[in-house]
Structure 1
Amino acid sequence: MYDFAAFSQPETWVSLLTLTLMEIVLGIDNIIFISILVGRLPVALQARGRVIGLGLALVFRVLLLLSISWVVGLRTALFTLPLSTPWPVSGRDLILLGGGLFLMYKSTTEIHTRLQGEEEASASTTGRATLLRVVLQIGVIDLVFSFDSVLTAVGLVDNVLVMILAVMGAMGLMLAFSGVVADFVNKNPTIKMLALSFLIMIGLLLVMEAAHQEIEKGYLYFAMGFSLLVELLNMRLRTKAPPVQLRDPQFD
């Protein structure tokens, strides 16, 4: 599992690059969720919140990789529901179900808050948006995304050292650009609403995976990318639109 000699082979470096890119793609939803949550913190604490959030994600992933046999064992059924067709439920199913429901709930409440116009008030109220509370919420969803990330890594390579290096590289890049992503999401209301909508879809995807309904994630990420492209074109079009001319009352 810890084959250092494998790094003398080009195939290992190709696997490392491929897995790093895959981890970045899988981490997009993670960083968006973190960006939205820390956006409710005072400006002085937002950068610290992002660093702590991504740091927790890295720690969870590395710890899970170091206990890879336990993670794989989570696929073993804990009990079976007595339905018309027996339904085995594993530890992985319970984690995905809880994480998916939490993600759907949190994204829905964020959308409701924005529609009610309560965002500015809540962001300025330290009692409702403390760093500790935000970090705890980030930690919950980090754990769920980490399981998904680790299980994907196990399916691609069998060298734990390659997995750890790929995760560290991906997290380093995401940390470097997290501020840019967070500013872009939080400064553009339509992008933020789009991101929250897709987080609901990702939560639903996790729930369906817990119910043993496998859906190709590539379809969802393609839809996310296409919707983002359309919204960027709309934003560009709005900047090109001519300013509204108000009529002078003296000519009425």
Structure 2
Amino acid sequence: MAKKADRAVGVDIGGTGIKAGVVDLTKGELVSERIRVSTPQGAAPADVLAAVHEVLDRLPEVEEHLPLGVAFPAIVKRGRTLSAANVSDKWLDFEAESFFIDGLDREIHFVNDADAAGIAEVRYGAAAGQDGLTILTTLGTGIGSAMIHDGTLVPNSELGHLKRKGASIERYAAYSALEREKLSWEKWAKRLQKYYTYLESLFSPDLFVVGGGVSKHPDRFLPLLDLKTRIVPAVHRNSAGIIGAAALAGD
């Protein structure tokens, strides 16, 4: 049996930024600088691939020999991307995993970005050892989600695309809505209250974990929420996608 890797590289492709780093798979933490570039305007496949090359080229040379995980903001099924909420429509029903394997000239593990963040938190973070159902939500450009039951991931939950007035609720409640509409934390928290109360009514979870860019500011909004379910910030915050993608690649 091959020896399991003790380090791996994770790449997290988001609607506004593409990040990468080397991860210690025993501790679940970055052991390199976190490299970041802006997501190319339009986020077409060729441009995203070029940006992924850029972040990987800025990591140490040894990382060419490590397992590589790539997290992407779409439904991922058997290597195909089946949605494109915050990237180009060219990703719809696209053989994305093969595209990255060919374009990077190396094997990868390809996964939904929020699912990668969920893996990071259940293995190394806020959901470690948690029984029952954990729902992680990433509040950023949109709302990603990961559902983990007794440590097992239920992939592609896409709870940011529950409908509100005919549109995806992420348009109303993502962190980008706070910035776009110049909302106060209090007004935005009222939107989150509606969102998380709705999730409670559907799933009766045991724990909410909040990740994404806004997880750097938990004290600004989490105390304003009144939920039956315990809600905590992600331990790995905006690096969770990198760590989770690397962990899955290391498997």
TM over 0.5: no
Q: Which structure features the higher share of strand residues?
A: 2
Query: TM-score normalized by structure 1?
Result: 0.25
Q: Which has the larger radius of gyration?
A: 1
User: Higher relative CO (CA 8 A, sep ≥ 6), structure 1 or 2?
Assistant: 1
Q: Which structure features the higher share of helix residues?
A: 1
